[in-house]
Amino acid sequence: MEQETQEIKDTQIPEGAPSFSDDGYQVKLEIFEGPLDLLLFLIRKKKIEIHDIPIALITRDYLEYLERKDQINLDREAEFLLIAALLIYIKSQMLLPREQELPSEEDPRKILVDRLLEFQKVKVACTLLREKEEEQLQCWKRTFLPPVARPEELELLEVDLFNLAETFFLLMKRKEREDFRLIKSKDVSVEDKMKEIVEYLEKQGSMDFLEYFAQQESLEEALVSFFCLLELVKNHTVVAIQEQLFQTIRVWLRKTRAHHHGYSHE
Protein backbone atom coordinates (compact mmCIF):
# COMPACT_ATOMS: atom_id res chain seq x y z
CA MET A 1 0.00 0.00 0.00
CA GLU A 2 0.95 3.54 -0.44
CA GLN A 3 2.27 4.85 2.83
CA GLU A 4 3.49 8.16 1.53
CA THR A 5 0.10 9.46 0.56
CA GLN A 6 -0.77 9.04 4.17
CA GLU A 7 1.56 11.80 5.05
CA ILE A 8 0.69 14.13 2.25
CA LYS A 9 -0.60 17.07 4.09
CA ASP A 10 0.38 20.62 4.59
CA THR A 11 0.45 21.79 8.13
CA GLN A 12 0.67 25.41 7.18
CA ILE A 13 -2.93 26.53 7.25
CA PRO A 14 -5.91 24.62 8.48
CA GLU A 15 -8.47 24.85 5.75
CA GLY A 16 -11.50 26.55 7.23
CA ALA A 17 -10.14 26.06 10.71
CA PRO A 18 -12.93 25.19 13.09
CA SER A 19 -13.68 27.71 15.76
CA PHE A 20 -15.78 27.07 18.82
CA SER A 21 -18.45 29.36 20.11
CA ASP A 22 -19.73 29.37 23.69
CA ASP A 23 -22.59 26.96 23.27
CA GLY A 24 -20.28 24.33 21.88
CA TYR A 25 -21.25 24.76 18.26
CA GLN A 26 -18.57 23.97 15.76
CA VAL A 27 -18.54 26.59 13.04
CA LYS A 28 -16.58 26.29 9.86
CA LEU A 29 -15.70 29.60 8.32
CA GLU A 30 -14.41 29.97 4.87
CA ILE A 31 -10.99 31.51 5.01
CA PHE A 32 -9.47 33.31 2.09
CA GLU A 33 -5.97 32.03 1.62
CA GLY A 34 -4.77 34.97 -0.41
CA PRO A 35 -5.86 38.32 -1.76
CA LEU A 36 -6.62 36.98 -5.24
CA ASP A 37 -8.91 34.35 -3.74
CA LEU A 38 -10.89 37.07 -2.02
CA LEU A 39 -11.00 39.29 -5.10
CA LEU A 40 -12.28 36.48 -7.31
CA PHE A 41 -14.90 35.64 -4.72
CA LEU A 42 -16.14 39.25 -4.64
CA ILE A 43 -16.20 39.47 -8.40
CA ARG A 44 -18.28 36.32 -8.62
CA LYS A 45 -20.57 37.33 -5.80
CA LYS A 46 -21.35 40.65 -7.48
CA LYS A 47 -21.57 39.00 -10.90
CA ILE A 48 -19.02 41.41 -12.24
CA GLU A 49 -17.48 41.04 -15.69
CA ILE A 50 -13.80 40.45 -15.02
CA HIS A 51 -12.68 42.67 -17.90
CA ASP A 52 -14.69 45.60 -16.62
CA ILE A 53 -14.27 45.76 -12.88
CA PRO A 54 -15.81 48.73 -11.06
CA ILE A 55 -12.70 49.41 -9.02
CA ALA A 56 -14.26 51.71 -6.40
CA LEU A 57 -16.99 49.21 -5.57
CA ILE A 58 -14.70 46.24 -5.38
CA THR A 59 -12.15 48.15 -3.31
CA ARG A 60 -14.81 49.05 -0.76
CA ASP A 61 -15.95 45.44 -0.41
CA TYR A 62 -12.39 44.21 -0.30
CA LEU A 63 -11.40 46.60 2.50
CA GLU A 64 -14.50 45.61 4.43
CA TYR A 65 -13.33 42.01 4.49
CA LEU A 66 -9.88 43.13 5.49
CA GLU A 67 -11.22 45.07 8.45
CA ARG A 68 -13.34 42.20 9.72
CA LYS A 69 -10.24 40.04 9.78
CA ASP A 70 -12.24 36.91 10.53
CA GLN A 71 -12.31 35.53 7.06
CA ILE A 72 -8.82 36.15 5.89
CA ASN A 73 -5.67 34.33 6.75
CA LEU A 74 -4.02 36.83 9.08
CA ASP A 75 -0.55 35.47 8.42
CA ARG A 76 -1.01 36.91 4.99
CA GLU A 77 -2.24 40.32 6.01
CA ALA A 78 0.63 42.16 4.37
CA GLU A 79 -0.14 40.49 1.07
CA PHE A 80 -3.81 41.38 1.36
CA LEU A 81 -2.79 44.98 2.00
CA LEU A 82 -0.50 44.97 -1.00
CA ILE A 83 -3.42 44.18 -3.30
CA ALA A 84 -5.53 46.81 -1.51
CA ALA A 85 -2.79 49.31 -2.33
CA LEU A 86 -2.84 48.14 -5.94
CA LEU A 87 -6.61 48.63 -6.12
CA ILE A 88 -6.30 52.15 -4.78
CA TYR A 89 -3.45 52.92 -7.14
CA ILE A 90 -5.53 51.72 -10.08
CA LYS A 91 -8.44 53.87 -8.98
CA SER A 92 -6.18 56.92 -8.71
CA GLN A 93 -4.85 56.27 -12.20
CA MET A 94 -8.38 56.09 -13.53
CA LEU A 95 -9.33 59.34 -11.87
CA LEU A 96 -6.48 61.28 -13.46
CA PRO A 97 -7.84 63.63 -16.08
CA ARG A 98 -6.39 62.80 -19.49
CA GLU A 99 -6.48 64.71 -22.69
CA GLN A 100 -7.29 61.64 -24.69
CA GLU A 101 -9.08 58.43 -23.89
CA LEU A 102 -6.60 55.70 -23.10
CA PRO A 103 -6.45 52.85 -25.57
CA SER A 104 -7.84 49.69 -23.99
CA GLU A 105 -4.46 47.98 -23.68
CA GLU A 106 -3.38 50.82 -21.42
CA ASP A 107 -6.34 50.49 -19.12
CA PRO A 108 -4.83 50.83 -15.61
CA ARG A 109 -6.92 47.83 -14.58
CA LYS A 110 -5.08 45.60 -17.01
CA ILE A 111 -2.32 44.58 -14.56
CA LEU A 112 -4.95 43.33 -12.16
CA VAL A 113 -7.19 41.72 -14.77
CA ASP A 114 -4.30 39.74 -16.25
CA ARG A 115 -3.37 38.42 -12.85
CA LEU A 116 -6.95 37.50 -12.03
CA LEU A 117 -7.42 35.68 -15.32
CA GLU A 118 -4.26 33.70 -14.74
CA PHE A 119 -5.24 32.93 -11.16
CA GLN A 120 -8.68 31.82 -12.27
CA LYS A 121 -7.06 29.24 -14.51
CA VAL A 122 -4.95 28.01 -11.62
CA LYS A 123 -8.08 27.60 -9.53
CA VAL A 124 -9.76 25.48 -12.18
CA ALA A 125 -6.62 23.38 -12.59
CA CYS A 126 -6.67 22.88 -8.82
CA THR A 127 -10.23 21.58 -8.89
CA LEU A 128 -9.39 19.15 -11.67
CA LEU A 129 -6.25 17.93 -9.93
CA ARG A 130 -8.17 17.58 -6.69
CA GLU A 131 -10.59 15.21 -8.43
CA LYS A 132 -7.68 13.15 -9.68
CA GLU A 133 -6.13 13.15 -6.24
CA GLU A 134 -9.31 11.85 -4.66
CA GLU A 135 -9.52 9.13 -7.28
CA GLN A 136 -5.93 8.10 -6.70
CA LEU A 137 -6.19 8.07 -2.92
CA GLN A 138 -8.65 5.23 -3.30
CA CYS A 139 -6.20 3.13 -5.27
CA TRP A 140 -3.70 1.44 -3.05
CA LYS A 141 -0.41 0.14 -4.23
CA ARG A 142 1.70 -2.51 -2.67
CA THR A 143 4.94 -1.55 -0.98
CA PHE A 144 7.41 -3.87 0.61
CA LEU A 145 10.69 -3.51 2.32
CA PRO A 146 13.44 -3.94 -0.20
CA PRO A 147 16.72 -5.68 0.64
CA VAL A 148 18.86 -2.62 1.22
CA ALA A 149 18.05 0.14 3.65
CA ARG A 150 14.86 1.71 2.29
CA PRO A 151 15.58 2.39 -1.35
CA GLU A 152 11.85 2.14 -2.01
CA GLU A 153 12.13 5.58 -3.51
CA LEU A 154 15.09 4.58 -5.60
CA GLU A 155 14.10 5.87 -8.99
CA LEU A 156 12.49 8.98 -7.63
CA LEU A 157 15.24 10.04 -5.37
CA GLU A 158 18.23 9.79 -7.58
CA VAL A 159 20.09 12.98 -6.89
CA ASP A 160 20.83 15.16 -9.82
CA LEU A 161 24.05 17.00 -10.30
CA PHE A 162 22.60 20.02 -8.61
CA ASN A 163 21.97 18.20 -5.35
CA LEU A 164 25.38 16.63 -5.52
CA ALA A 165 26.93 20.04 -5.89
CA GLU A 166 25.07 21.35 -2.83
CA THR A 167 26.42 18.50 -0.78
CA PHE A 168 29.84 19.06 -2.21
CA PHE A 169 29.97 22.60 -0.90
CA LEU A 170 28.82 21.39 2.48
CA LEU A 171 31.63 18.86 2.48
CA MET A 172 34.17 21.40 1.37
CA LYS A 173 33.23 23.63 4.27
CA ARG A 174 33.76 20.79 6.68
CA LYS A 175 37.11 19.91 5.19
CA GLU A 176 38.24 23.51 5.23
CA ARG A 177 37.82 23.72 8.94
CA GLU A 178 40.25 20.91 9.46
CA ASP A 179 43.76 21.94 10.30
CA PHE A 180 46.37 20.06 8.37
CA ARG A 181 49.83 19.96 9.87
CA LEU A 182 51.36 17.36 7.69
CA ILE A 183 51.65 17.98 4.04
CA LYS A 184 51.63 14.74 2.15
CA SER A 185 52.33 14.50 -1.46
CA LYS A 186 50.28 11.68 -2.78
CA ASP A 187 49.04 11.58 -6.30
CA VAL A 188 45.52 10.36 -6.69
CA SER A 189 44.14 9.75 -10.11
CA VAL A 190 40.47 9.75 -10.93
CA GLU A 191 40.79 6.25 -12.44
CA ASP A 192 42.31 4.74 -9.30
CA LYS A 193 39.81 6.42 -7.08
CA MET A 194 36.92 5.25 -9.22
CA LYS A 195 38.21 1.70 -9.01
CA GLU A 196 38.50 2.09 -5.27
CA ILE A 197 34.93 3.30 -4.92
CA VAL A 198 33.53 0.53 -7.11
CA GLU A 199 35.50 -2.10 -5.19
CA TYR A 200 34.26 -0.67 -1.95
CA LEU A 201 30.70 -0.84 -3.20
CA GLU A 202 31.07 -4.39 -4.44
CA LYS A 203 32.27 -5.40 -1.01
CA GLN A 204 29.99 -3.29 1.16
CA GLY A 205 26.89 -3.01 -0.96
CA SER A 206 26.39 0.66 -0.29
CA MET A 207 28.35 3.65 0.84
CA ASP A 208 27.70 6.68 2.99
CA PHE A 209 29.40 9.23 0.82
CA LEU A 210 29.64 11.91 3.50
CA GLU A 211 31.52 9.51 5.72
CA TYR A 212 33.74 8.33 2.92
CA PHE A 213 34.53 11.88 1.96
CA ALA A 214 35.46 12.77 5.52
CA GLN A 215 37.87 9.82 5.69
CA GLN A 216 39.95 11.06 2.80
CA GLU A 217 43.46 11.96 3.78
CA SER A 218 43.81 15.22 1.97
CA LEU A 219 41.61 17.84 0.50
CA GLU A 220 42.87 16.89 -2.92
CA GLU A 221 41.96 13.26 -2.46
CA ALA A 222 38.55 14.23 -1.16
CA LEU A 223 38.02 16.42 -4.19
CA VAL A 224 39.03 13.62 -6.51
CA SER A 225 36.61 11.25 -4.80
CA PHE A 226 33.79 13.68 -5.40
CA PHE A 227 34.64 13.97 -9.08
CA CYS A 228 34.69 10.20 -9.23
CA LEU A 229 31.22 10.05 -7.81
CA LEU A 230 30.01 12.52 -10.41
CA GLU A 231 31.65 10.46 -13.13
CA LEU A 232 30.19 7.19 -11.84
CA VAL A 233 26.72 8.70 -11.70
CA LYS A 234 27.13 10.04 -15.18
CA ASN A 235 28.17 6.75 -16.74
CA HIS A 236 25.38 4.93 -14.87
CA THR A 237 27.67 2.73 -12.81
CA VAL A 238 26.17 3.83 -9.53
CA VAL A 239 22.99 5.31 -8.15
CA ALA A 240 23.33 8.13 -5.66
CA ILE A 241 20.44 8.75 -3.33
CA GLN A 242 19.92 11.64 -1.01
CA GLU A 243 16.93 11.37 1.28
CA GLN A 244 16.80 15.04 1.97
CA LEU A 245 18.69 18.11 0.91
CA PHE A 246 21.91 18.63 2.83
CA GLN A 247 21.83 15.14 4.17
CA THR A 248 24.22 12.40 3.34
CA ILE A 249 24.29 10.75 -0.05
CA ARG A 250 24.07 6.99 -0.18
CA VAL A 251 25.65 5.30 -3.12
CA TRP A 252 24.75 1.94 -4.65
CA LEU A 253 25.97 0.08 -7.68
CA ARG A 254 23.39 0.09 -10.47
CA LYS A 255 20.88 -2.73 -10.51
CA THR A 256 21.73 -3.62 -14.05
CA ARG A 257 25.27 -4.50 -13.08
CA ALA A 258 26.27 -8.09 -12.49
CA HIS A 259 27.13 -7.58 -8.82
CA HIS A 260 23.74 -6.39 -7.91
CA HIS A 261 22.25 -7.57 -4.63
CA GLY A 262 18.89 -8.19 -6.29
CA TYR A 263 15.53 -9.01 -4.89
CA SER A 264 16.91 -11.56 -2.57
CA HIS A 265 13.73 -12.16 -0.69
CA GLU A 266 9.95 -11.64 -0.64
Is the CB of residue 202 less than 8 Å from the CB of residue 246? Answer: no
- Sign of torsion over alpha carbons 88, 91, 97, 102: positive
- Sign of torsion over alpha carbons 251, 254, 259, 262: positive
Q: Tell me: does residue 135 bind other proteins (CB under 8 A).
A: yes
Cα-based distances in Å from 234 to 36, 96, 171, 230: 44, 61, 20, 6
Q: Tell me: does residue 183 bind other proteins (CB under 8 A).
A: no
For the segment 247-266, give every residue that binds other proteins (CB under 8 A). 256, 263
N residues, the chain:
266
User: How many residues line the site for other proteins (CB under 8 A)?
Assistant: 63
Q: Tell me: does residue 150 bind other proteins (CB under 8 A).
A: no
Q: How many CB atoms lie within 10 A of CB 90?
A: 21
Quote the least distance from Cβ 221 to other proteins, whole Å: 28
Quote the least distance from Cβ 234 to other proteins, whole Å: 16
According to CB under 8 A, which one of 64, 70, 133, 199 is a site residue for other proteins?
A: 133
Q: Tell me: does residue 28 bind other proteins (CB under 8 A).
A: no
Query: Which residues of this chain interact with other proteins, rule CB under 8 A?
Result: 1, 4-13, 15, 33-36, 44, 47, 76, 79, 82-83, 115, 118-130, 132-144, 146, 152-157, 160, 162-163, 244-245, 256, 263
